[in-house]
Chain A
């Protein structure tokens, strides 16, 4: 009996290791808990992308449920999600863009604002424009304050300016149903699915 138990130890150890490593196959190494959840929007003062003389602060989100979409024309996945976001906005979701540019390096700028604006107009004309307006994150430090690691990322901000959902990656029908729909329903009492009826 004693001996049989001794033989079982490596087997049990091995099986445990198998289960542990097998789980690892399905875990996403990029997945991390967003630090922004249930926190208020960080303070900022940023211009409108199209009318730089208009300035926004974090108070702009008060009183309205907003889907804040971090994006840029250089980002391919952002283009993929534009039609779906447009469908959402047509069903009444208030979507605001937090725009940041890659080539417009604040320290060694090589791109003019006019060119960035033209690129944005071109792409939204082609793929749909879900944005009520775009906030221009000139130095990308509001993105940094939000813990954004790249584009696209989307945040659902409630009426009090608190971040309720932080999603890394594109928003599509599945993601909306799984991550956003319930919270959106809770906040607004509306069921939105982004699919044309």
Chain B
């Protein structure tokens, strides 16, 4: 039983180490920048994975390139521009605002606005008030009959 547990632990530790590489940085800022960039750059071969998570070869190569660029002293925007010029807007998780993508922001806002307009324009329902009166009258009549 004990060996089983150990074996299982080893099994799972191997998979979590699969995409770990040893990249050494001079400063903690560079390390943080590397973490941020690999989390926000998308692996162009995978459907929806950032390059920090992916084990695809292209993700390995992109991590190595990000590391090199950071060590050359490039900042966040320069690295993103480098990747975009090769792999297009797809490679970065924050889409640029263009004529097609503007709807990502406009559509939710317009739905909320439409909802507000519909609520404000709704007329108070007179029918229910009348129905209530009629029902009360009928009930009263029934009560009167019982007397």
Contacts and interface: CB of A to CB of B under 8 A. Distances in A.
A16 interface: no
Contacts of A140: 57, 61
Interface stretch (A114-122, A127-135, A145-153): A145-153
Interface of B: 44-45, 47, 56-58, 61-62, 64-65, 84-88, 90
A159 interface: no
Interface string A137-162: 00011011111111000000000000
Interface residues of A, number: 17
Contacts of A36: 86
B88 A32 contact: yes
A58 interface: no
B58 A33 contact: no
A29 B44 CA distance: 11
Nearest to A148: B58
Given A35-B87, A102-B57, A149 B45 contact: yes
27 contacts: A29-B47, A32-B87, A32-B88, A32-B90, A35-B84, A35-B85, A35-B88, A36-B86, A102-B57, A107-B64, A140-B57, A140-B61, A141-B61, A141-B65, A144-B58, A144-B65, A145-B86, A146-B86, A147-B44, A147-B86, A147-B87, A147-B88, A148-B58, A149-B58, A149-B87, A150-B56, A150-B57
A140 B60 CA distance: 11
Interface string A89-104: 0000000000000100
B62 A144 contact: yes
A146 B85 CA distance: 10
Contacts of B47: 29
A162 B86 CA distance: 15
Contacts of A143: 61
A33 B88 contact: yes
Given A32-B87, A147-B86, A150-B56, 8 more contacts: A107-B64, A141-B61, A144-B61, A144-B62, A144-B65, A147-B44, A149-B58, A150-B57
B118 to A, nearest CB: 12
A140 B65 CA distance: 10
